[in-house]
A and B are shown apart, each in its own frame.
Chain A
């Protein structure tokens, strides 16, 4: 235990260990006294000493002074030593007005308040931003999208299509001609300039890009039984363009990603997951919309809407076959059911129309053999 006029601490400076040497220091009305290389440096007067708090959690009292050999610091963390030092300092302050103590109290207080305001602002503001974005993201997305012109959307679509095209093997032939003709029939009077393509890919899929680029895989053409089914899928895809679903999804996930990463820094996993979930939820809504609107477009174009329904039925059967245990997923089934109900609500004259003038079997026969890079199915 340190005596009242002795304190223990770590000394730093010329001649001491770089990680601080444990020392015992005498304190008196005059100042400090400790053993240093240069004897003079070891007995600074209070007038030459400045004292401040510091270190981890301000757990240390830092006593600093300049000597002949350089500057010295004495760090004191031991509680009795701090008490002894304080008591001695108090006496010294009364005796000596020149004592340099770090006591701009009022300034400290203001800094303290402002730093808290700042820190809480930094902490709370992003959460508020995130909450607002999540809460209002539909409206925000709608607002953002309403500022995108058809022309701009077309440009975006061109860029995306240029990128996507590198991965696709686009083919020509009677299949592609049929898709183009059906597409033109379904998009009469649209503000968009559509371009329809067929890609040689075994997976049963079709997709639409903003601005009117629609690609259908040969796998889908091969699965369809007639031109009405192909028209049904096209009608659905066209509605994704008309209703700007893809653009919507992109704006939404870009906005969410930007906001989330702004708020959380690089919390990659959680951010991706969160925006994925939201995207998934709304894409389902989009799918249902595209189905319903697509059905209307088919009727308006004088194409039998049963093809669309039949194709979803085929898909749901295929899912059952392909996915085995995973087949409890009711997605295509549900869509089939709601389409079926919608068709039953239509007038019979809209359903029973002249079949499309294509020899679908012949078209299917000349489809290229499926080739898929990487062999992924």
Chain B
């Protein structure tokens, strides 16, 4: 089955979007709610499942849709088809600060394992399924959970992650230790495991957690510099709070009322 070959251009630097140029009768699939704009002549159709022709029958479609729910995608995918004449454009925007990366699946042996939520859009025919992490340790402590996405096909797919992305090709046997949560995508030939940080002091106070993710070649891996939940927790931590234990140790950070709340003031517990 031939995939649609699509031309694209990525705009922006830290909060990017991709504009895809479709020839007549060419299609692209986008994650629901990621579409930014589209030109005249592009027909939008919402389908149940992921738009790859592999699913046949209601059961197959339900299964495909169920898998999509597990990976954090919506039940429906939207297919954008150029029904007009001449080239038409449709654009998809990234949902949070980070980078977009085009992945040519045909150059990667036809499949790619991604962090869930990484998928943004693709040429029609790229199928999206779950890759269930079977190693218990990696599932718990690898930072990506048990559910990952698998992109298959030989077309172009766009993935998205936080911060700046690094693409690195590991030679056979070469390993790279990665902070858990920073892995975005990898070829399925890459061994993904966890490794204890090694020293109890580092584990408790090093701030990197108890484990590293260890990636062992051969294959290409993509690492993100800023996992979105890390950014979110920093924002959450910086958000103003009315009261908090954190302030119990930052004595004198505010006025007397705050201190009263901490130091057993007479109106303690009232606010």
Number of A interface residues in the complex (CB < 8 A): 81
A152 within 8 A of B: no
* A163, A245, A290: the one within 8 Å of B251 (CB): A163
> Which residue on chain A has the smallest CB distance to residue B253?
A167
Checking B134, B190, B220 against A18 with a beta-carbon cut-off of 8 angstroms, the contacting residue is: B220
Which of A55, A73, A236, A290 has a CB less than 8 Å from the CB of B188? A55
Identify which of A12, A209, A257, A329 contacts B218 (C-beta below 8 A): A12
Whether B255 and A13, one on each chain, are in contact in the complex, defined by CB atoms closer than 8 angstroms, is: no
Q: Which residues of B contact A332 (CB under 8 A)?
A: 267, 270
- Given the known inter-chain contacts A64-B172, A207-B260, A376-B254, please indicate yes or no for A272 contacting B244, CB distance below 8 A: yes
| Chain B min CB distance to A359 (Å) | 24
Residues of B within 8 Å of A272, CB to CB, are: 244-246
In the assembled complex, the CB of B207 is this many whole angstroms from the nearest CB of chain A, namely: 8
Question: Chain B residue with minimal CB distance to A58?
Answer: B134
Q: Which residue of B lies closest to A278 (CB)?
A: B245
Does B86 make an interface contact (CB < 8 A)? no
Nearest CB in chain A: distance from B181 CB, A: 11
For residue B211, which residue of chain A has the nearest CB?
Answer: A122
What CA separation (Å) do A246 and B259 show in the bound complex? 11
Q: A163 vs B253: C-alpha distance in the bound complex, in angstroms?
A: 10
What is the bound-complex CA distance between A15 and B178, given in angstroms?
28
B236, B255, B260, B270: the one contacting A268 at CB < 8 Å is B236
Complex CA gap A167/B251 in Å reads 9
Specify the chain B residue showing the minimal Cβ separation from A13: B172
Least distance between A288 CB and chain B CB atoms (Å): 10
B259 contacts A167, C-beta separation under 8 Å:
yes
**What chain B residues lie within 8 Å of A253 (beta carbons)?**
245, 248
Q: Nearest A residue to B249 by beta-carbon distance?
A: A254
- Chain A CB within 10 A, most for which of B108, B136, B270: B270
Q: How far is the CA of A203 from the CA of B245 in the complex (A)?
A: 21
CA distance A160 to B169 in the complex (A): 54
Is the CB–CB distance between A71 and B172 below 8 Å? yes
Asked if A60 CB lies within 8 Å of chain B CBs, one says yes
Q: A160 touching B244 by the CB < 8 A rule?
A: no
> Is the Cβ of B256 less than 8 Å from the Cβ of A207?
yes
CB distance from B251 to the nearest CB of A (A): 5
Contact with A75, one of B136, B189, B243 (Cβ below 8 angstroms): B189
Residues of B within 8 A of A199 (CB): 256
Return the CB mask of B110-137 against A: 1 if under 8 Å, else 0.
1001000000000000000001111111
Please tell me if the beta carbons of B189 and A276 are within 8 angstroms of each other in the complex.
Answer: no
- Measured CB to CB, the closest approach of chain A to B80, in angstroms, equals 28
Q: Tell whether A268 pairs with B172 under 8 Å between CB atoms, given A60-B188, A376-B254.
A: no
Check B172–A73 contact: CB distance below 8 A. yes
CA distance A206 to B267 in the complex (A): 8
Flag if B113 contacts A329 (CB, 8 Å): no
Chain B residues near A25 (CB, 8 Å)? none
In the bound assembly, the distance between CA atoms of A33 and B131 in angstroms comes to: 32
* Interface assignment of B25: CB less than 8 Å from any CB of chain A: no
Assuming the A-B contacts A168-B256, A276-B245, are A207 and B191 also in contact, with contact meaning beta carbons closer than 8 angstroms in the complex? Answer: no
Q: Which of A35-43, A101-109, A279-287, A337-345 contacts B (4 or more CB under 8 A)?
A: A279-287
Q: Are B255 and A10 in contact (CB under 8 A)?
A: no
The answer to whether residues A284 and B269 also contact, given A19-B108, A253-B245, A276-B244 and a CB cut-off of 8 A, is: yes
Q: Does B252 contact A (CB under 8 A)?
A: yes
Chain B residues with Cβ under 8 A from A266's Cβ? 207, 233
Contacting residues of chain A (163-220) with chain B, CB-CB under 8 angstroms: 163-164, 166-168, 199, 201, 203-209, 215, 217, 219
Whether A245 contacts B264 in the complex (CB less than 8 A), given A10-B189, A160-B251, A332-B270, comes out as yes
- Whether A56 is near chain B, meaning CB under 8 Å from some CB there, is yes
Cross-interface CB contact of A283 among B171, B207, B257, B269, cutoff 8 Å? B269
Residues of B contacting A12 with CB < 8 Å? 171-172, 189, 217-218
Measured CB to CB, the residues of A under 8 A from B are 10, 12-13, 17-20, 22, 54-60, 62, 64, 71-73, 75, 77, 115-116, 119, 122-123, 160, 163-164, 166-168, 199, 201, 203-209, 215, 217, 219, 233, 236-237, 240-241, 245-246, 249-250, 253-254, 257, 262, 265-266, 268-269, 272, 275-276, 279-280, 283-284, 286-287, 290, 315, 319, 329, 331-332, 372-374, 376
Question: Which residues of B are at the interface with A, using a C-beta cutoff of 8 A?
Answer: 107-110, 113, 131-137, 140-141, 169, 171-172, 186-192, 204, 207, 209-210, 216-220, 233, 236-237, 243-246, 248-249, 251-252, 254-257, 259-260, 262-270
Those 5 A-B pairs whose CB atoms lie nearest each other, nearest first = A167-B252, A240-B264, A207-B265, A205-B260, A73-B172
With A164-B259, A205-B256, A283-B268 known, 5 other A-B pairs at CB within 8 A are A203-B260, A205-B265, A205-B266, A207-B264, A266-B233
In the complex, 13 of the A-B residue pairs with CB atoms within 8 angstroms, ordered by the A residue number, are: A12-B171, A19-B109, A57-B131, A57-B135, A77-B189, A119-B140, A168-B252, A219-B256, A246-B264, A269-B237, A276-B243, A276-B244, A283-B269
